[in-house]
Every structure is written in structure tokens, then in C-alpha cells.
Amino acid sequence: MTINPLQGLATARRNGKPYGITSVCSAHPLVIQAAVRRAVADQDAVLLIEATCNQVNQFGGYTGMTPDLFVAFVREIAGREGLPASRIIFGGDHLGPNPWKNEPAAQAMSKAEAMVTAYVWAGFSKIHLDASMGCAGEPAALDDETIATRAARLAKAAEKAARSRGGALPVYIIGTEVPVPGGADHAISDLKPTEASAAQRTIDIHREIFAREGLDEAFGRVIGVVVQPGVEFGSENVVAYRPEASAPLTALLDRETALVYEAHSTDYQSRAALTALVANGFPILKVGPGLTFALRESLYGLDLIASEMVSGYGERPLARAMETLMLSAPGYWRSHYHGNEKRLYLQRQYSYSDRIRYYWTNPAASVAVARLREALSGVAIPETLMRQFLPTLPAELGPAGDPQAILLAAVDLVLADYDAACHPA
């Protein structure tokens, strides 16, 4: 039986042999496929796939998938690639009232409880309890006691569902200083890590309120805390990790020896930075937009190559189709991108925030991608064009005439950095 590596993260750190785990936060089938293939290649690997409350919930979320459908979706890809279901951990991210924060708290929390229940029943065993956001008529930032009280309420729902379902009970992530999902919506020049005293208060008050609510055993399965380690990305820039800035947070783990930190928004960090995060007590490395950004880069590179090589393909029709689609349905990017028309165009197409990822499942996008793949299927791409338009990928992929292999390689290139950081020599 495969051992859940999440349970051993804190112990490994205490023993001076830290390791990490990549948390793949994406619902794109090619991203999932690339992650599955990497897990298959390492027979001892366990794959952690996470879904967010807005992406997947009992009403379908923006993917249209309920938790059970998301699990089935991932397992279908895994089955095709030969990865046993027992080697996949499903995590629920930001599970709380956020999708319904414009509703009264009582109503939003009832829906959040139903969502957590649905996640656990579907087989999600890593649950991030995030009740940090205010609901209708409340301040945007709630006080620590209210957050912890609501987190305990959600934990009760998860515990009840898990005991009814049978099998292993879930592990939990807590934390109130949560980076903005999908990255910040502005350029970031100064980013301060969470104060160690604030992290300690988060832990203490959750421990106290869980005990008050009869959830001592559940709190014993809290494995991590979300804090700000000093990493973030905006639309146009990335803030690199500085280990010295988060040293007080690392020191706190010497007192809270059963816990580690979960690092959100690690997208676009260097391999060295990711390795340092793991070594310094941030072994759960969450990545999402960085993977779909790499996928979009390779799709656009192939779009340019097909424009150069394939008669009748046209001038960058995929990029044009995506721009038309994003302009016709601006809901996913309008409040995140700012500036004049040229800046907005560049952000729509090339932003680190990668809001374009929300559009790939649209039928118009699917048709454009299918046309690109058909245009290049069986077409040997010269090394010179690979170097010109896809310079980070091995040029020998071009002559094979397999655009899918190129797309998967682009995602895998990012995953390789995480793999190396999580399993230091």
C-alpha cells in the first residue's frame, strides 16, 4: 500500500532530510497528463492534484465539474497512462465560503459545508480550510477567531463525511494569510513574509477552537499552515524567494514540530528558489498558472511555426481566436488587467497571471487548438524553427511530427524543476 507522503513531511524535516511534494493545481487535461506521466516514470511517486472552490464545487464551478466528476476526469487520464488510482492524492484548495461571499454568511457557510462534504465524499483527502474572507455585510478581512470558528465548522462537516464514507480520514491545511489565487492583479515591488507571531496566533487559535468544538483528533491531522513566504507573481513580474526574509517563519517550525507550511503562488520561481523553500519548511509547493503559461507558450510557438510552414493555415489563427474569445467574454480578466488598450492586449495574451487559462475549454478555443494540431500532425518541424519559436524545448522533438509531444514536454519542463526541488540529492 502506498504511504501518504503528506503525513511524513514534518517528520522528515525534523530528521534533517526534508522532501517536498508538488501540488498540481490545474484542470487542463494536458497538464494533468504531463503530471501523470511524470508520476508513472517514478514508481515510488505519489501525485497530488488539487482543485479550488471556484473551479470545482457542488454546482460545477467554472470547469462545470462537481468534485466526483473531477476525480473521475483525473482518474480516466491516469488510467490511460497506467497510473493506479491509489497513487493519486486529491486536494481541495480554498474550501470555504469564497464562491458565495456576496451572500449572507449563514447562507454562504451552509453552501461551503455542502461543498466540503461533496469533496470528501468524492475522495479528496487533503482539505484546505479557508474561511478568511468576509461575506455580505462583513469586513473583507475577518478576525482570527471568526475565521477559526468557521474553519472548525467546515472541519466538522469534513469529519462527518469521511466517517460516513469510510477509509482514511482527511488531513487539513489551515491558514488565513492566503496569497491571491492565481496571482496578484498588479505589479509587486515590496512583499513581506507573514510575521512569525501572526502565524503562531493562527495556529494557537485554531488549536484552541478545534479543541472547544471537540475536534482535537481532527486538529491532530492538521499538517500545514498557509503563510506568505515572500513569493508571488503579478501580471507582469515575479517576486523571487529570499530565504533570509522568511527565517523567522522557519524557526517557528522548531516549536510547532508537527507542522510545515504550504507555499502558494510558487509559479515561476527558479529551481534554486523552490529547493530553498522545501529546505526551509515550505515543502508543499503549489503550482497552476505556471503550468498553463508554459502550455500557452508552446501552443503559440506552434501557431507561429504552422503559420510559417503550412500552406493555408493563416497568420497565427490560434492567437487571433483566443483574443476574439477573450474580448467577447471578458469576465475572467477584466478586473485583473489594467492599462491602455495595448497593455490590456499584452496582458490578455502573455500575462504571468495567465487568465487565458480559463478559456481553453471554450468550444471556439478547442476548435482552434484542434486545427493547429491537425495542421502540424506528421509535419517534421526543422530544428531551426524549433530554435526560433520554441527555444527552451529539445530541438529533436520537431522532426517527429507530434505536436502533442511538444505540448507535454513544455509542461514537463516546469514540473521537472519542482521534482528536483522536492527530491534534493
On whether residue 201 sits in a domain, the answer given is yes
Please give the pLDDT value at position 228. 95
Dihedral-angle region of residue 135 (phi above 0 means left; psi in -120 to 50 means alpha; beta otherwise): beta
Please give the pLDDT value at position 178. 56
pLDDT 10s digits, 217-230: 999 999 999 999 99
Q: Report residues of the chain scoring pLDDT below 50.
A: 1-2, 181-183
On whether residue 417 sits in a domain, the answer given is no
Q: Are residues 313 and 165 located together in one domain of the fold?
A: no
Please give the pLDDT value at position 187. 59
On whether residue 154 sits in a domain, the answer given is yes
Domain extent at residue 379: 292-407
Paired sense of beta strands 171-174 and 222-226, if any: parallel
- Domain end call among 287, 321, 350: 287
Please give the pLDDT value at position 1. 36
Q: Are residues 189 and 271 located together in one domain of the fold?
A: yes
| CATH number of 130's domain | 3.20.20.70
- Domain end call among 242, 264, 287: 287
pLDDT 10s digits, 35-88: 999 999 998 899 999 999 999 999 999 999 999 999 999 999 999 999 999 999
Q: How far is CA 277 from the centre of its chain?
A: 16
Would you call 306 helix, strand, or coil by DSSP? Answer: helix
Which cell numbers hold the place of 98? 469564497
- Residue 29 CB coordination number (10 Å): 14
- Domain end call among 287, 310, 340: 287
On whether residue 380 sits in a domain, the answer given is yes
Please give the pLDDT value at position 110. 98
On whether residue 424 sits in a domain, the answer given is no
When divided into structural domains, the chain yields a total of: 2
Paired sense of beta strands 238-239 and 88-95, if any: unpaired
Q: Are residues 147 and 282 located together in one domain of the fold?
A: yes
On whether residue 297 sits in a domain, the answer given is yes
Closest CA to 281 of 310, 312, 243, 330: 243
